Structure 1
Amino acid sequence: MKTRTLFIFFLMLVLVQCGPSENKNNSEAAFQMKAFITLLEYDLKLLELEIESLGREVQRKFRENKGSAPQQYLHGKPIKRGVHNNAGMDDPDACTVYISELAEEGTELKELLSATGSLDELFRGIIGQHEMVSQVYFNSKQQVNKLYPPYDALAMVETNLDVTSFNFYYLGDEKNNPERETLWVDEIYIDPVGRGWMISLIHPVYIDDALKMVLGFDITLNTIIDNYLSKFDNNFVIVDATGTLVAGKTKAIESLSLPPLKNHTYTQTITSDTFRKEEFNLFRSKSREVRKMASKVILGNESEYTLTDYGLQVRITAERMNILDWVLLDLAF
């Protein structure tokens, strides 16, 4: 935390020395936008380093476990298809482990559970250290999900769920990520275990050239709104590369003729990827002028645009982010 505090101090000092320039309004907007993006991406980069470190630790545990007889128990219970430590009922400090009915009983499954049985403390430590991260987990081809904090898997997950059918697994697999890189899943989707709209950071873990699992960190959009957007007075709006709304201030969202953002709640279990609906996409805004603006800014890479719509004139400044494929818009009324 001390390192981050010093970084923020020097960032603000440098940015203050950079302005103002000829155009005071444009300079101030650019100042605030660069500060927002720099602060957010500083934390995102820390998470990339953290998940890569976790991946190396998982590899170490597999190497240590190699050649030993697989344990037949998980938290004192026989290995079986189903859920262990549901919603922390057995141990609030332990992960929930979900084993789908699609899992094939055998040595590979037992080795996976044996090698990852002691990951609970590491997962818990990451949650405690990084305020941005709401969940730490892995998903495997053996149809196992291990996640902290524990959740009510019996109520939220089908017993025969295919964990490899979700973007937080398949985007990191051999076919979609042959370079075996750490990736951001920056298209907004609904968390299957009930935490609302989010993005994910994923990292594939290979053992002896075989994909053993895909690690994941989840970040809820509420976290981005509370920890970053709310710290600035600007009317910021974030959209992804497709023009879909990620997050933003209420007044700014309304001026783009988009419906108000609400955190999605649901009672039914999710069985596949569920992304933000088309009604939150700038290219499908009710306003022709907003659709034109989206084309100029997102597709044409224009950094400034004046939106005149419904008798309201709004000066829009755009800045592309580096780590995530997002565009930050600053709306000045």
Structure 2
Amino acid sequence: MKFTSLLASSLLFLLAVFVACGPSNSNHYLNNRIELEAIALMMDHDLEVLEDEITKLGEFTTGLFDNKEEVLSKADKNKYVIKGVGANAGILVDTSLSSLYIPEIDQDKQAVDELIYLTNPLDSLFKSIVEKHKVVSQVYFNSSTQLNRLFPPYDVYNMLEPDLDLTTFNFYYEADEKNNPSRGLVWVDEIYIDPVGRGWMISLLNPVYHYDNLKMVLAFDITVNDIFESYIEKSNKELIVVDATGTVVAGKSKAIEVLSLPPLKNYTYKQTITSDSFRMEDFNLFKSKNIEVRKTASNIILAGERESVLNSEGEKIIVISEKLERLNWYILELVL
């Protein structure tokens, strides 16, 4: 599944008809508002599809624990050959399997081996999810026993330090008992750098419990590139997406320029934000040197206004916004 689903395509078609038939002058603002609402609705719908998918994956995983003895009795214990801190993790990997990472920290080796055998059936599901949902760049779990299983496979040895504590990363602890007492799904909606080199992303987390014990946290990763290409780049509007802290997640070049953000690399914000040299504070509206940009950010994010006026070099620019239901993000359109 791509972000642009059947529902999304239908919404865009109806919107196009509405815009084409309506008087261009009197309906200009209304057209912009409706299109922005449609984009937000599309994003929320497709995020809901991913929530349903990871929920089903969690139910399957719980079933493995429920039928532990039977699953282990049939397990292929030679499926993975562990070398150092990894398995199926070098340059020559089996692309139908996940990579395993087992850090060099204190752990129950027997429990780790058992979890590897028990969760071997997840490989085919991980692979099918990545193939079905093109926006999902990787599927994985991190366990309380310090095991990471991730698809597509990657070079563990060169991408990760050998002694990482998996439970100290936000894609684990934000879904743990302390931070997620309801035990529901969690969106990590503040962008972060992926440790295995796939750029800036967000994650959808699903904690898996068995007999009241947190066994692991399942995760889908979605890159900023996917968000940019699926929504922002396809629109002819000057759009940007910002999170609740005011940091720009993705946006069009002209909109970025109007908001007095740093110059773009290679003329695309997508390439700027996926660069390792990206600094979040440089792309935070609240920290802009332009007081008008800071006022607009405050009006929309802090005051909850759906429309704000930005005075830019003597020109009044209308900024309209829609908040996403599932992510604490705002889609902004600069009506130039």
Q: Distance in 2 between matches of 1:284 and 1:5?
A: 36
Letter in 2 for 1:42: H
- Structure 1 match to 2:130: 127
- Structure 1 match to 2:166: 163
Aligned residues: 324
Q: Distance in 2 between matches of 1:87 and 1:227?
A: 32
5+ unaligned residues in a row in structure 2: which ranges?
Answer: none
State the 1:106 CA deviation.
3.8
1:112 equivalent to 2:115? Answer: yes
After superposition, where does 1:40-51 map in structure 2 within 5 Å?
40-51=43-54
Task: Please point out which of 274, 281, 284 is paired with 1:264.
Answer: 274
Q: Which stretch shows the higher mean deviation, 50-59 or 97-106?
A: 97-106
Q: Which stretch shows the higher mean deviation, 58-67 or 148-157?
A: 58-67
- Counterpart contact for 2:108–2:145, Cα < 8 Å: no
5+ unaligned residues in a row in structure 1: which ranges?
Answer: 268-274
Query: What SS does structure 2 have at the residue aligned with 1:307?
Result: strand
Structure 1 residues 89-115: Cα deviation after superposition (integer angstroms, max 9, x where no partner): 241211010001115134322221111
Q: Distance in 1 between matches of 2:319 and 2:29?
A: 10
After superposition, where does 1:1-333 map in structure 2 within 5 Å?
6-12=6-12, 15=15, 20=22, 23-66=26-69, 68=72, 73=77, 75-77=79-81, 82-87=85-90, 89-259=92-262, 260=264, 261=269, 262-266=272-276, 277-333=280-336
Q: Distance in 2 between matches of 1:95 and 1:76?
A: 10
- Percent identity of equivalent pairs: 44
- Counterpart contact for 1:241–1:327, Cα < 8 Å: yes
Q: Distance in 2 between matches of 1:207 and 1:245?
A: 39
Q: TM-score, normalised by structure 2?
A: 0.89
- Counterpart contact for 1:240–1:327, Cα < 8 Å: yes
Q: Distance in 1 between matches of 2:178 and 2:74?
A: 29
- Counterpart contact for 1:51–1:203, Cα < 8 Å: yes
State the 1:31 CA deviation.
1.5
Structure 1 residues 190-247: Cα deviation after superposition (integer angstroms, max 9, x where no partner): 1011011100000000111111100000000000111111111000011111111111
State the 1:72 CA deviation.
9.0
- Counterpart contact for 1:70–1:110, Cα < 8 Å: no
Structure 1 residues 33-54: Cα deviation after superposition (integer angstroms, max 9, x where no partner): 0111111111111000000000
Q: Distance in 2 between matches of 1:17 and 1:126?
A: 34
Structure 1 residues 46-75: Cα deviation after superposition (integer angstroms, max 9, x where no partner): 000000000011111222223756969452
Letter in 2 for 1:110: D
User: Taking structure 1 as reference, are residues 293 and 5 closer, same or farther at Cα in structure 2, changes over 3 Å only?
Assistant: closer
Letter in 2 for 1:207: H
Q: Distance in 2 between matches of 1:223 and 1:65?
A: 37
Moved over 4 A (4+): 13-23, 67-72
Query: What SS does structure 2 have at the residue aligned with 1:185?
Result: strand
Letter in 2 for 1:8: A
- Counterpart contact for 1:241–1:325, Cα < 8 Å: yes
User: Taking structure 1 as reference, are residues 25 and 196 closer, same or farther at Cα in structure 2, changes over 3 Å only?
Assistant: same
Q: Distance in 2 between matches of 1:161 and 1:70?
A: 31
Q: Distance in 2 between matches of 1:304 and 1:285?
A: 19
Query: What SS does structure 1 have at the residue aligned with 2:233?
Result: helix
Q: Which stretch shows the higher mean deviation, 103-112 or 181-190?
A: 103-112
State the 1:13 CA deviation.
5.6
